[in-house]
């Protein structure tokens, strides 16, 4: 068995769901489990999230919804972007899975294969400028949905910068969706489910909670931005992933010797090094070596030389032995390495750190 794996703390996921349920009160909570639950395992996380109080699950792909259904998860599932017309038949066979729609072609494609009255959610683009319909055509599309014998169950949008507290554009997006909802209400087409809050807005904009919120990265105990790091800590969110490996090899280098490709790190003294069987094929960014460290024996051990595809080299002392545990993310002794810390060190965001933990890294629950 490979001595590198990710330990997923499902109790931490359940705890985090409880924290968010406490924040949103009567609003439904949609647990976003797309991309394999941000690398944690969609089926395992989905089950625990539902047991802890989530009433919906959100995915990006029809295939992701099918995986949940095949494993017996039967709560409502929302596919967060409009599937291609050719995918609508497969979606219609999945009981309780709702498609997002925002085009006439998408509405017609689903209506042609779904039973009369099947629910859909209409997504409006209020400023993210990625996918969704312009709010000005909300009524027209809602009438098309009704005319196609479908049910407009939900209306939603996605925020561009809600993870930045005080950002004024979030208020503009809320106002745009509210205006569309007023227009739909005036036409007798208002849907029962309205949702716009992601993790950031759930934490900072109670006026965006509405009938449902969609929480993704917060479920995994990771802050959506550095600006919300302290807030997540205050709430007691718990990081669910612990990425670990072990010392596979020990050797020494002399003064003036280089380590790894390009010899980017040069020893300025005789140095003892440990090689770990984990690399960028497992999700460790190559550039992490410049500021990164791992925990061995409860102490931070700096990376020496660029991270390679399968291996990473760290500086150690004589107290380290082959087989010793090395923690890349998570706690050991009195120290803890967070996803946010790795993101900071590599110039990225926590989402990417989680999503790039490779599929060849076994998950243990």
pLDDT of 242? 98
Residue 347 burial (CB count, 10 A)? 11
Same fold, 10-235 and 241-364: no
Whole-number Å distance between alpha carbons of 38 and 303: 26
Directed axis angle between helix 42-52 and helix 10-24, to 10°?
Answer: 50
Per-domain residue ranges of the chain: 10-235, 241-364
The whole-number pLDDT of residue 290 equals: 93
pLDDT at 195: 98
Greatest Cα-to-Cα distance within the chain, rounded to the nearest angstrom? 78
The three-point CA angle 332-333-336 to 5° equals 50
pLDDT profile of the chain (365 residues), mean per 10: 94 98 97 98 98 98 98 98 98 97 98 98 98 98 98 98 95 98 98 98 96 98 97 98 98 97 97 98 93 97 97 97 98 97 95 95 97
Report pLDDT for 301.
98
Residues 6+ apart with CB under 8 A from 350: 217, 222, 223, 224, 339, 340, 343
Structure tokens at 296: 């061995």
**Is residue 303 a contact partner of residue 280, using CB atoms and an 8 Å limit?**
no
Please say whether the beta carbons of 55 and 30 come within 8 A. yes
CATH architecture of 10-235: Alpha-Beta Barrel (3.20)
Query: What is the CATH number that goes with domain 241-364?
Result: 2.40.37.10
| Residue matched to tokens 């399968």 | 310
**What residues act catalytically?**
34, 261
pTM metric for this prediction: 0.96
Q: Rounded CA gap, 43 and 8, in Å?
A: 12
Question: What pLDDT does residue 1 have?
Answer: 80
User: What's the CA gap between 62 and 196, in Å, rounded?
Assistant: 21
């Amino acid at each position: 068995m490979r001595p590198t794996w990710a330990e997923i703390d499902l109790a931490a996921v359940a705890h985090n769901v409880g924290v968010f349920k406490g924040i949103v009160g009567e609003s439904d909570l949609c647990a976003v489990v797309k991309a394999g639950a941000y690398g944690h395992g969609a089926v395992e996380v989905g089950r625990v999230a539902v047991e802890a109080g989530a009433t919906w699950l959100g995915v990006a792909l029809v295939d992701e919804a099918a995986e949940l259904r095949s494993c017996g998860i039967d709560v409502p599932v929302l596919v967060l972007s409009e599937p291609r017309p050719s995918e609508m038949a497969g979606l219609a066979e999945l009981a309780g899975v709702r498609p997002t729609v925002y085009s006439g072609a998408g509405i017609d494609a689903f209506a042609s294969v779904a039973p009369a009255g099947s629910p859909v959610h209409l997504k409006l683009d209020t400023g993210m400028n990625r996918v969704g319909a312009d709010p000005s055509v909300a009524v027209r599309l809602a009438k098309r949905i009704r005319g196609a014998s479908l049910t407009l169950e939900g209306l939603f949008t996605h925020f561009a910068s809600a993870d930045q507290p005080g950002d004024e554009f979030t208020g503009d997006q809320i106002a745009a969706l509210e205006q569309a909802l007023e227009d739909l209400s005036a036409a007798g087409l208002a849907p029962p489910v309205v949702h716009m809050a992601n993790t950031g807005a759930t934490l900072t904009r109670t006026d965006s909670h509405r009938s449902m919120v969609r929480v993704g990265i917060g479920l995994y105990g990771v802050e959506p931005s550095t600006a919300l790091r302290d807030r997540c800590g205050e709430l007691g969110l718990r990081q669910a992933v612990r990425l670990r490996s072990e010392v596979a090899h020990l050797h020494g280098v002399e003064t003036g010797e280089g380590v790894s490709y390009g010899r980017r790190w040069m020893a300025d003294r005789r140095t003892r090094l440990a090689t770990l069987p984990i690399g960028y094929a497992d999700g460790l960014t190559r550039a992490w070596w410049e500021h990164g460290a791992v925990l061995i024996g409860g102490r931070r051990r700096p990376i020496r030389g660029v991270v390679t595809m399968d291996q990473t080299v760290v500086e150690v002392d004589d107290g380290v032995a082959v087989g010793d545990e090395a923690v890349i993310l998570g706690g050991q002794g009195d120290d803890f390495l967070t996803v946010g810390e790795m993101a900071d060190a590599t110039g990225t965001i926590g989402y990417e750190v989680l999503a790039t933990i490779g599929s060849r890294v076994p998950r243990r629950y």
